[in-house]
Amino acid sequence: MERKKLLSIQDLSCYGQCSQTVALPVLSACGFETAVLPTAILSTHTGGFTGFQVQDLTDFMARTLRHWQDEGLRFDAIVTGYLGSKELIALTLQAADTLLAPGGMLLVDPAMADHGKLYAAFDADYAAAMRPLCARADVVLPNTTEASLLLGRPWREDCGDEELSALLEGLRALGAKAAILTSVNPDAEHTGVAVADAKGVSLYRHAREKRDYHGTGDLFSAAFAGAYLSGKPLYEAAGIAADFAAGCIRNTLGDDKHWYGVHFEELLPALAAKL
């Protein structure tokens, strides 16, 4: 059986477990031939490190896309994460238009904000530029902050059922075929993800862990892509990914030196076994 070929488009933080350094091992463990297209290279991720170095790769990405088009390369799916500029968003749309095989899928994590605020490098124009990419997506995977920004709605830390439905319906009205909201907090003891497609809206919840770690959103997106593109239904794939991310957090609790990411590597065989 021919393996599916996936392309991950996001930044590469050389140290610190996030973006490409978690997407590649997770997607590979799920059985996919995975290519990467970094949008920038960072010496470390930006959460808690100081003096980090950044190399923008906009020109390299444009040249790579032309090369791949000349080579006739095609992918069964493209998975996106942190991009970094409006130019890189436009290039990612170009990649979806030219590199996806017939029937290929686009999964978009519009990584740009959290906890009610845009990341420091972004402004409202960046959020607006992200809308066409999300509208093009087969599945869009924002957290509640990002969904609120995409739809021009005020952010609420604890969304009730009515607000969750409004966000999910808004994302689908934007153009996405399906939407998954992360960082959903239904009550003080639980967290989870809300899922919507043509069949309706569902909430997957699990116990809230004791602390947050960098990179868990990237892990969720990669694990979801691995499960969904393996043929799992949308809701089941979201649940598998949520459980995987939560398990990685539990696997890291107690290791105070490992504040910059989570210990996910030894959990990859269990993830693969579920698929």
The answer to whether residue 58 scores a pLDDT higher than 60 is: yes
Alpha-carbon gap, residue 176 to 158, rounded angstroms: 24
Nearest to 104 by CA among 14, 202, 193, 6: 6
- Per-domain boundaries in the chain: 5-269
Alpha-carbon gap, residue 177 to 190, rounded angstroms: 27
pLDDT of 210 = 76
**pLDDT tens digits, one per residue of 187-235:** 778 889 999 999 899 999 888 887 889 899 999 999 999 999 999 999 9
Alpha-carbon gap, residue 145 to 149, rounded angstroms: 6
Percent of the chain with pLDDT over 70: 100
Alpha-carbon gap, residue 3 to 8, rounded angstroms: 16
pLDDT of 48 = 87
Q: Is 240:274 a contact under the CB 8 Å cutoff?
A: yes
**pLDDT tens digits, one per residue of 246-272:** 999 999 999 999 999 999 999 999 999
The answer to whether residue 159 scores a pLDDT higher than 80 is: no
SS3 of 63, please? helix
Only one residue has tokens 């050389």, namely 14
Alpha-carbon torsion angle 115, 186, 127, 40, nearest 10: 60
Mean pLDDT over residues 241-250, rounded? 96
Mean pLDDT over residues 162-170, rounded? 92
SS3 of 65, please? helix
Q: Which CATH number is associated with domain 5-269?
A: 3.40.1190.20
Mean pLDDT over residues 53-57, rounded? 96
Alpha-carbon gap, residue 253 to 244, rounded angstroms: 15
Only one residue has tokens 């153009």, namely 175
Percent of the chain with pLDDT over 90: 85
Nearest to 153 by CA among 143, 136, 162, 166: 166
